[in-house]
A and B are shown apart, each in its own frame.
Chain A
Amino acid sequence: MIQSLTIYRLTKSRKKRPIPKDWATSEVIEKFGVASASEPLYPGSSSIALDEAGQLVIVGGSDGVAGVYSIPDNKLQQSFKAVGAITDSVWYGNQPVVSTSAGTVKVFGEQEATFTSHAGNANALALHPSGEILASVGVDKSFVFYDLPGGKAVTQIYADSGMIKHFRIDHAIPY
């Protein structure tokens, strides 16, 4: 299955992994300076997500508007409206995903989805290294795992009590 291949890729010889030849050296990094700066896009921005190509950035502010900013073009490509302040963002492939202070987790783009598992703020997001499982944490003391290709919340776990709520028993996380 794809899952076992992914695990192999992720765990294989992590300790002996060589530094890629084209990686920046400290001599390069110590010369970093401001190469470009955008207009003020969204007041209250507190998160940033860069796509794999290193060109598109998701930013969003306290008024619930998030956008995709293109670094090479130095301009906003798209913007999206969510409810509540944008608290965090990640890329799911080429689809922006944001969490909000209204407790929602929104996937924008061709397979749009809105998840409302949290009671109160959704504070942060994390994407599983497979790129397919999303996690959110909230003011309600819980974290939620989402199956992004399936467009479903899978599990909600309360960190203090260990209480687990399965949204779909038949769809256990394969990791």
Chain B
Amino acid sequence: MQYLTNTNIELTAASFHPDGHLFAAGGEDGQIKLFHVKTGENAANFDLGGPVQDLTFSENGIWFAAVAKGSTSITIFDLRKEGKAAEAKVLEIGGQVDSIRWDYTGQYLAASGPGGLTISQYTKSSKSWSDVISLAVPATAVAWGPQASSLISVNSEGVVTVLR
């Protein structure tokens, strides 16, 4: 016997805005809700369209990147806009993405999944995106090393890999 359990909107991802004033929580319902840290009040909502797997703020202060469960694309949202207009960019990665992390300068966005790692670059002067490198290193999570001179990943077996 099956019951309808579509009201389940568990929260699956979390991140603070680099200014420290806003907190973002992503849910199973595809909603990314921003809250004022001080009061806990809802500040804005963004629709990713699928259960939120991961989200990460850019240090530029106006963007955050988010990926839905099982998705092969990353959506960059602009905090200053609403609705569909808030989607600043959709990056096609080519493989499933489980974890995303921006480096401190907001230039590089690392994405990892069962197919491997991809690093994309945003160039501010030309306002353009480019692929820097893709590596066949499957990973469930990634982190940037100091000065973005290394990338640390872990896979589902718990193997920690250093890329540099």
Contact = CB atoms under 8 A, between A and B. Distances in A.
Contacts of B25: 137, 143, 159
A121 B161 CA distance: 28
Interface in A11-44: 11, 14-15, 17, 19-20, 22-24, 26, 28-44
B13 A124 contact: yes
Contacts of B105: 19-20, 23
B137 interface: yes
A155 interface: yes
A66 B139 CA distance: 17
A61 B41 CA distance: 34
Range of interface residues on B (Cβ < 8 Å): 35 or more
Nearest to A12: B19
A149 interface: no
B90 interface: no
B40 to A, nearest CB: 5
A83 interface: no
A1 interface: no
Interface in A119-175: 120-121, 123-130, 133, 135-143, 145, 155, 157, 159-160, 162, 164, 172-175
Interface stretch (B71-79, B80-88, B142-150): B142-150
B18 interface: yes
A143 B14 contact: yes
Interface string B13-42: 111101111010111000001010110111
B91 interface: no
Given A43-B157, A48-B154, A128 B16 contact: yes
Contacts of B13: 123-124, 137
B159 A39 contact: yes
A56 to B, nearest CB: 10
Given A54-B150, A136-B14, A159-B25, A45 B143 contact: no
Contact of A59 (B145, B147, B158): B158
Contact of B11 (A26, A123, A127): A123
A47 interface: yes
B37 A175 contact: yes
A69 interface: yes
Interface string A53-91: 110010101000000010100000000000000000000
B119 interface: yes
B152 A71 contact: yes
A157 B40 contact: yes
Interface of A: 6-7, 10-11, 14-15, 17, 19-20, 22-24, 26, 28-50, 53-54, 57, 59, 61, 69, 71, 120-121, 123-130, 133, 135-143, 145, 155, 157, 159-160, 162, 164, 172-175
Interface of B: 9-16, 18-21, 23, 25-27, 33, 35, 37-38, 40-42, 59-61, 98, 105, 107-108, 119, 121, 130, 132-133, 135, 137, 140-164
The 9 closest A-B pairs by CB, nearest first: A137-B11, A42-B158, A41-B158, A40-B157, A54-B146, A126-B14, A139-B10, A45-B158, A24-B148
